[in-house]
Amino acid sequence: MYGVLYTVSPEIFPAKDRGTGNGLVSTATRIFGIVAPVIALYANLETALPVYIAGA
């Protein structure tokens, strides 16, 4: 996860938007890091639903 956050993310944004884009990616990582245990708590882990939620 951190490899994507700190190596791939800065490269996909243009130079003038790189700081903002990296900040948005970092914020999304932290928010979904909080949401992931909630999804695991309420989802039926015998199905593939958590994988589809993560993919969305």
- Unique residue bearing structure tokens 């996909």: 12
Query: 45: domain range?
Result: 2-55
- Tracing tokens 């015998």 back to the chain, one arrives at 46
pLDDT at 1: 66
**0.75 exceeded by pTM:** no
| Helix/strand/coil percentages in the chain, nearest 5 | 80, 0, 20
Q: Which residues of the chain are modeled with pLDDT < 50?
A: none
Structural domain tally of the chain? 1
pLDDT at 31: 92
